[in-house]
């Protein structure tokens, strides 16, 4: 069963594989206040992160005894950030399952690898290159400033307010009734984001946070 609980700041997280994806993830988790153990077979990668993480260790993640010595089963979450070495990724994930790791995330380079990782027990699979490619595709084809797509063709996006909404309260702009999108936040130049209400008046240059179907969000973003 997939894990749905958010980790608390006291959660202990192990990141296995400290390449570009793994090292970036480990650093971001550490900056967020989590206790992070980084593991890689390359001493240079481990050394480069030693000062940024709670713990860093040189180890072969396909060696069950090595994982036991590092107390990996005691960590609340494990991330297998090995991508290019399919055999190592599968073996590591399989060992984590056997050791009883409560929540396992695994990186995959393609859908086929992702299916394999799920079948052997990974609770979550991420495809960074694939997901980023889809995200960038939405950004380069229109006026979207940022874009996140969820399941069932639902998206949240950031865009400059369309001209037809300018000078009107959101309740009168008809963005929701006409295009099927909801403005959930607004940011004026030099100010921070605030929640949008029906009385919020949109001004030229405002940045809007839109939520709705992907095609509807992109349609509003393309309005002049």
Q: What pLDDT is attached to residue 142? A: 64
Q: Which residues lie below 8 Å from residue 141, measured CB to CB, with a gap of 6+?
A: 218
Would you state the pLDDT for residue 132?
67
pLDDT attached to residue 88: 94
> In this predicted model, what pLDDT tens digit does every residue of 52-72 receive, in sequence order?
999 999 999 999 999 999 999
Q: Which domains does the chain have, with CATH numbers?
A: 12-126 (3.40.50.720), 132-221 (3.30.70.1450)
Q: Which helix (H) or strand (E) is 4 found in, with range?
A: none
Better-predicted residue by pLDDT, 15 or 195: 15
Which DSSP state fits 32? T
Geometric angle at alpha carbon 210, from 204 and 214, rounded to 5°: 125
Q: What is the pTM of this model?
A: 0.69
Find, among 211, 214, 208, the residue nearest to 156 by Cα: 211
Mean pLDDT of 195-218: 88
Rounded to 5 degrees, φ, ψ at 118 are -65, -40
pLDDT band with cut points at 50, 70 and 90 for residue 91: very high
């Amino acid at each position: 069963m997939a894990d749905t609980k958010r980790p608390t700041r006291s959660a202990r997280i192990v990141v296995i594989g400290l390449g570009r994806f793994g090292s970036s993830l480990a650093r971001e988790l550490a900056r967020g206040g989590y206790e992070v153990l980084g593991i890689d077979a390359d001493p240079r990668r481990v050394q480069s992160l030693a000062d940024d993480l709670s713990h860093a260790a040189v180890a072969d993640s396909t060696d069950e005894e090595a994982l036991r010595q590092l107390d990996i089963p005691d960590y609340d979450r494990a991330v297998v950030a090995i991508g290019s070495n399919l055999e190592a990724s599968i073996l590591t994930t399989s060992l984590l399952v056997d050791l009883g790791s409560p929540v396992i995330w695994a990186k995959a380079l393609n859908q086929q690898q992702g299916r394999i990782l799920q079948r052997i027990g990974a609770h979550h699979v991420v495809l960074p290159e694939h997901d980023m490619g889809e995200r960038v595709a939405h950004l380069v084809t229109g006026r979207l400033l940022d874009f996140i797509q969820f399941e069932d063709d639902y998206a949240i996006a950031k865009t400059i307010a369309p001209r037809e909404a300018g000078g009107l309260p959101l309740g009168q702009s008809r963005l929701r009734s006409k295009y099927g999108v909801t403005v959930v936040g607004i940011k004026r130049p030099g100010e921070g984001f605030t929640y949008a209400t029906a009385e919020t008046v949109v001004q030229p240059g405002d940045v809007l946070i839109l939520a709705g179907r992907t095609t509807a969000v992109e349609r509003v973003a393309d309005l002049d």
